[in-house]
């Protein structure tokens, strides 16, 4: 899956005029995502190789939410994912790239989505137990936080990723969940939000990771819901889009980070869903498919995915329901988690 941006541009054909009734161009988006891996004649295809596995997760999940789960070859997807695995259980962004938490989580999510987790034991370079162990070993026993890889960068993104993947694998027992929860609490701020690490400023993306991690740990009771909901609702700007921090510019991807966080704390109605949907739809390229960060910018699969996930979250007609905790189709997480975790 290529991370090449373009060729289209959000709102390209609107010619400055935005029609009142914007449609989600489902077929175009499907074609756009399908075409991504055919763009090897572009330099950017190669420059974005370090995001390839994430790209597959974004493209595949978007296709599932669009109701086209078979638009990518299941077998080719599994083959590619397995080709990124290392013997220690971790996954890199592409074959030959170092193992890292971010790609390991995406790999588990993708295999889960295409119902192929058992392929890890069947033909992975390492089986499920080793994948779980790779993730679990990145936990800092003292603080409960997680590193991204052996070089030690620590970020609440990795903590969330670990709980996400381990819960999907039913292997949360491998880590100290309560210490992880304590670490998240240490990242909380007076505004109800959470940062990258203790002391860091609240940021909608980190809020998503912290709130979702608490949701997986079953500790949403620790969230100051009204205060956080208030801060998050102020992310919506007059054009309907959402930003990630006060006084920053809006961006389609925050439709997800902000929206899912609000959904998890039962306050999605604190923003205007209709206006958000209109904003996301204005970021589409109605001719070539794909969604950009803002109207007029180049589309890419990252924003395409988070735009569609945002629309699904607010119940946009025709889309498959997304799970706000996992950012995967709800029916997939239901199947994977079974009754125990729901």
Partner 1 sequence: MASHGVPRVQPATDRDQKKEQQKIKDYKGLVDSVNDGIRGCQCTTKTLELTSKLLKWNPEYYTIWNHRRLILKHQFEHPDSQVTNAVAGPDHETVMNTISDELAFLIPLLRKFPKCYWIWNYRLWLLKDSTRLLSVLEARKFWQQELALVGKMLSLDSRNFHGWGYRRTVVSALEGIALQAEGSVTSMTEIEFEYTTKMINLNLSNFSAWHNRSKLIPILLDERGADHLARRNFLDEELELIERALWAGSEDQSLWFYHQYLMCTFDPKYAAESMAPDLTTTERSTYVREQILKVRDMLDGAEDCKWIYQSLISLSILYRDLGNESIEKEVAIEDHIAELINLDPLRAGRSSNLLLDPSLLIMTTCKSVAVAGMPTYLPIRNFLLQIPLLKTSSPILTRLLIDKSGLFPTFIVVKRNPFEAKEAARMEFLLELQPDGDGADVNTEDIDYFSTQALVEVRGVFRNFRFCDRFINYVYDDGFIHVIQMLGRYTDLTDGSIEILGGQGHTTQKAWGQWRTGPPMISLSSPSTWALDLDGVQPRLHGVEFQRMKIELGSREIEQER
Name residues contacting partner 1, limited to 168-207 (CB under 8 A): 189-191, 195-197, 199-203
Per DSSP, 312 falls in state H
* Angstrom distance (rounded) from CA 250 to CA 254: 7
**Pick from 236, 255, 261, 284: which binds partner 1 (CB under 8 A)?**
236
Could you give the CA distance from residue 309 to residue 322 in angstroms, rounded to a whole number? 6
3-state secondary structure of 138: coil
Q: Closest CB to partner 1 among 55 and 128? A: 55
231 binds partner 1 (CB under 8 A): yes
Between 115 and 266, CB nearer to partner 1 = 266
Name the one range near partner 1 by CB under 8 A: 13-21, 46-54, 117-125, 176-184. Answer: 46-54
What is Dmax (Cα atoms) for the chain? Answer: 56
* Minimal distance, residue 47 CB to partner 1, in Å: 5
Q: Which residue from 195, 108, 186, 206 is spatially nearest to 144, judged by alpha carbons? A: 186
Report yes or no: 260 and 212 within 8 Å, Cβ to Cβ.
yes
Q: Among 67-75, 106-114, 138-146, 239-247, which window interacts with partner 1 (CB under 8 A)?
A: 239-247
Dig out the tokens for 329 from the structure. Answer: 């189709």
Any contact of residue 12 with partner 1 (CB under 8 A)? yes
Q: Which of 14, 267, 278, 341 binds partner 1 (CB under 8 A)?
A: 267
Q: Which is nearer to partner 1, 127 or 296 (CB)?
A: 296
- Radius of gyration, alpha carbons of the chain: 19
Is 37 a binding residue for partner 1 by CB under 8 A? The answer is: no
**CA distance readout (Å), 101 to 81, 109, 133, 191, 317:** 14, 12, 12, 29, 34
**CA 233 to chain centroid:** 20
Give bridge partners of residue 328 from the DSSP assignment.
Answer: 323
Stretch that binds partner 1, among 26-34, 74-82, 164-172, 247-255 (CB under 8 A): 247-255
Query: Mask of contacts with partner 1, 299-328, x by CB under 8 A?
Result: -xxxx----------xx-----x--x----
Among 93, 107, 169, 210, contact with partner 1 (rule: CB under 8 A): 93
- Which part of the chain contacts partner 1 (CB under 8 A), choosing from 44-52, 69-77, 109-117, 127-135? 44-52
Q: Residue 17 corresponds to which tokens in the numbers above?
A: 């005029």
- Residue 129 CA to residue 245 CA, distance in Å, equals 39
If one asks whether residue 152 binds partner 1 (CB under 8 A), the answer comes out as yes
Element (H, E) at 292: strand 291-292
Q: Does 263 participate in binding partner 1 (rule CB under 8 A)?
A: yes
* In the complex, least distance from residue 268 CB atom to partner 1, rounded to whole angstroms: 5
Smallest Cα–Cα separation from 193: which of 236, 233, 249, 242? 233
Q: Which stretch binds partner 1 (CB under 8 A): 114-122, 132-140, 162-170, 240-248?
A: 240-248
Contact region with partner 1 (CB under 8 A), list: 134-142, 161-169, 173-181, 270-278: 270-278
First to last CA, the chain: 31
Contact pick of 3, 62, 72, 213 for partner 1 (by CB under 8 A): 3
Binding partner 1 (rule: CB under 8 A), the pick from 74, 97, 179, 219 is 97
> Exposure of 114 by Cβ count < 10 A (0-12 exposed, 13-18 middle, 19+ buried)?
buried
Q: Verify binding: residue 340, partner 1, rule CB under 8 A.
A: no
């Amino acid at each position: 899956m290529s991370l090449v941006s373009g060729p289209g541009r959000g709102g390209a054909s609107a010619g400055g005029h935005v029609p009142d009734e914007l449609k989600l161009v489902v077929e175009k988006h499907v074609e756009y995502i399908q075409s991504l891996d055919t763009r090897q004649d572009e330099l950017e295809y190669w420059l974005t190789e370090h995001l390839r596995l994430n790209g597959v997760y974004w493209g595949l999940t978007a296709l599932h939410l669009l109701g086209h789960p078979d638009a990518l070859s299941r077998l080719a997807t599994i083959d590619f994912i397995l080709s990124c695995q290392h013997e220690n259980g971790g996954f890199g962004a592409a074959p030959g790239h170092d193992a890292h938490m971010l790609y390991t989580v995406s790999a588990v999510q993708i295999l889960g989505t295409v119902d192929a987790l058992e392929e890890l034991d069947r033909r992975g370079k390492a089986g499920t137990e080793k994948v779980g162990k790779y993730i679990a070993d990145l936990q800092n026993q003292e603080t409960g936080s997680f590193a991204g890889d052996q070089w030690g960068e620590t970020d609440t993104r990795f903590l969330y990723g670990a709980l996400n993947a381990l819960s999907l694998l039913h292997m949360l027992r491998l880590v100290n969940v309560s210490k992880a929860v304590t670490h998240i609490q240490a990242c909380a701020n007076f505004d109800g939000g959470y940062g990258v690490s203790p002391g860091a400023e609240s940021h909608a993306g980190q809020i998503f990771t912290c709130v979702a991690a608490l949701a997986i740990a079953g500790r949403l009771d620790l969230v100051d819901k009204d205060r956080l909901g208030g801060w998050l609702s102020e992310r919506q700007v007059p054009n309907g889009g959402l930003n990630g921090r006060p006084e920053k510019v809006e961006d389609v991807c925050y439709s997800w980070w902000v929206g899912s966080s609000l959904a998890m704390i039962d306050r999605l109605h604190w923003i205007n869903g209709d206006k958000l949907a209109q904003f996301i739809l204005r970021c589409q390229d109605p001719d070539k498919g794909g969604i950009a960060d803002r109207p007029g910018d180049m589309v890419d699969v990252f924003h395409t995915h988070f735009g569609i996930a945002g629309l699904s979250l607010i119940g946009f007609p025709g889309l498959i329901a997304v799970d706000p905790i996992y950012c995967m189709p709800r029916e997939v997480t239901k199947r994977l988690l079974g009754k125990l975790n729901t």
